[in-house]
Amino acid sequence: MVISQEAIGAGKPAVLRRRGPVLERAILEAALDQLSTVGWGGLTMEGIAARAQTGKAAVYRRWPSKHALVVDALCSALPDVGDMPDLGSLREDLLFLVLRMRESMYSQGGLAIRSVLDECDHSAAEPFIDLIVRGVIEPGKRLILEVIRRGIARGEVRADATGDIVADVVPALMMYRAKLGGRDICEGDLIEVVDQVMMPLLRS
């Protein structure tokens, strides 16, 4: 049996012997897993090492701090909002969009991001917020603006509904309900967002 230096350090036999990218991937996965379960507050380099079945030294050799590791973990798991198929009507496009956004919110990367946003105070969250805005918020906003542009072209949406604040309404309502609603966002919530808010807000 091969015993790695790190495992000796931790006083346990190595279950897995991995190197380079394979071990790095396992550490990043462990960080995401810990973020979604124990949250930012409960996250420790020890916990991540244990979850990745490696030693703490192996983690610190690659990332000097919890912050640096979490930035890389979030980068590796940014939910991909993908492209918007044209479903032929504003309402169908909006329903597709909100379902896609809810999927992203509850993906492993989405849960990790919300854990960081929910728990970090402002100064601690700064390096993450920039990453989240560029990696998730902006791509989501581009999809919404694409749906709005198509609606304008079809004559379904008023021509001046292209402001940034209009594109913020869907993610803002989803974040607000997830934070204060005391339960997960259900399909009924999404249909309310579309039929009671976005359709009347956008109609021409």
Q: Is 203 helix (H, G, I), strand (E, B) or coil?
A: strand
- Of 77 and 161, which CB lies nearer to a second copy in the complex structure? 161
Instruction: Look at residues 136, 75, 131 and name the one whose alpha carbon lies nearest to residue 100.
Output: 136
- Of 57 and 197, which CB lies nearer to a second copy in the complex structure? 197
Residue 156, token pair as written in the block = 């379904």
Burial class (CB in 10 A: 0-12, 13-18, 19+), 82: exposed
- Of 16 and 124, which CB lies nearer to a second copy in the complex structure? 124
- Of 62 and 142, which CB lies nearer to a second copy in the complex structure? 142
Shortest reach from residue 21's CB to a second copy, in Å: 31
Shortest reach from residue 50's CB to a second copy, in Å: 20
Residue 90, token pair as written in the block = 């504003």
Shortest reach from residue 67's CB to a second copy, in Å: 14
Q: Which residues contact 140 (CB under 8 A, 6 or more apart)?
A: 81, 101, 104, 171
Residue 74, token pair as written in the block = 């979030």
Q: Which residues bind a second copy (CB under 8 A)?
A: 39-42, 115, 117-122, 124, 129, 132-133, 137, 158, 161, 163, 165-166, 168-169, 171-173, 175-177, 179-180, 182, 189, 192-193, 196-197, 200-201
- Of 6 and 189, which CB lies nearer to a second copy in the complex structure? 189
Instruction: Look at residues 84, 122, 105 and name the one whose alpha carbon lies nearest to residue 176.
Output: 105
Indicate the DSSP class of residue 155: T
Shortest reach from residue 192's CB to a second copy, in Å: 4
Indicate the DSSP class of residue 89: S
Shortest reach from residue 131's CB to a second copy, in Å: 12
